[in-house]
Structure formats: structure tokens, C-alpha cells
Amino acid sequence: MEIHRQENCIELSELDPFLAELLRQIPESTETEGAEGAHQRLFSSPAPASEREICAEWKLYVEPELRRLFQSATETVTSDLRQLNGSTKPFANCTLRIPTDNAESWLNALNQARLVIASKYNFTDAELCDHYRSPIGSRRDLGLFQVNFYGFLQEFILQELHL
């Protein structure tokens, strides 16, 4: 994979089918259905439990707003990822261009995905810091690879756009 900053976009070229598939899985990875811990992480408490009034109002008024924000970011990413569906050859490398205007949505969706995956697999701090773990031998290993790969993309977007 090669990654470059172009004038109005970030270009990920020479994407092999494996990395392209990981990118396709970003929207799906943000889903928290059936994973209460992941849902609680995305919609964390705004105050200590003793502040019942604040927490109750938050659930009523703020959480729906946050849900819309997260959903909007994921939809933008889903739309950009449609570029990966154009290849006629099933195992050909492909290119993805992320418009700079969508960079914040990408950062948000990547963060959602990383938090949800990390919560589902309950990764330890040591595992999350082990960026060179290989090979991928289980679904859990793949999850950790996803978290690191999405983190790498976040770092690149941040660096390139000086956000």
C-alpha cells in the first residue's frame, strides 16, 4: 500500500485485497449491537453516577445528537468506500481517494471502529501497544491488526492535514 497527499485528497494506492477488505469493514466495525461494553464506550457517562440529573438529561437530549453525529461520519466513509467496488478483477490492487473535506468524518469513523473492536475483544494495554505482533492466527489477532491499521490511517490523516 502506498499513501500520498494529493491536492484535495489523500490517496491510498496499491491496496491489496486484504487491506481493501479491512477498509470495507470500517462501517460494519462501528456497530455496537449486541456488545453492551462497546455501546457504553461510545456513549460514555458525562458525569459521575452521583450526578443523576445530568446523566438523565444527557441520555434524553445529547445521546441522540451524538448518535446522529457518529452515524453521519460512518455514512460519509461508506460512501467514499464505494470506490473500492469498481474493480472488475477480483484480486487486483485498488486505489482509494479520501477527499480532504471528509477527513474529519474518517477520523471519527476510524475512532469508532477502533474503540468498538478494542472493547469487543477487551484488549489489554500491552496488546494495544504491541504494533508488531504477527502472524494473524485468530479472529482476535485480526481485530488487533484492524485496530492498529485504522490507527495508522488516523495518524497519517492527522499528519497530512495538520489537524
Partner 1 sequence: MATVAPGNRLKRERFVVMHSSFGSSVENPVIEQETRAAEEIDLPWQVVVHNDPVNLMSYVTMVFQKVFGLPREKAEKHMLEVHQLGRSILWSGMRERAELYVQQLHGYLLLATIERAN
| Least separation in angstroms between CB 58 and partner 1 | 8
Dihedral over alpha carbons 142, 28, 113, 137 (to 10 degrees): 0
Q: Candidates 6-14, 85-93, 95-103, 120-128 — which segment interacts with partner 1 by CB under 8 A?
A: 120-128
Pick from 38, 103, 118, 144: which binds partner 1 (CB under 8 A)? Answer: 118
8 binds partner 1 (CB under 8 A): no
Scanning residues 28 to 47, which ones bind partner 1 (CB under 8 A)? 42-47
Pick from 48, 86, 90, 135: which binds partner 1 (CB under 8 A)? Answer: 48
125 binds partner 1 (CB under 8 A): yes
Pick from 5, 71, 154, 160: which binds partner 1 (CB under 8 A)? Answer: 154
Q: Please say which residue, 26 or 115, places its beta carbon nearer to partner 1.
A: 115
Q: How many CB atoms neighbour CB 118 within 10 A?
A: 20
Residues touching partner 1: how many (CB under 8 A)? Answer: 31
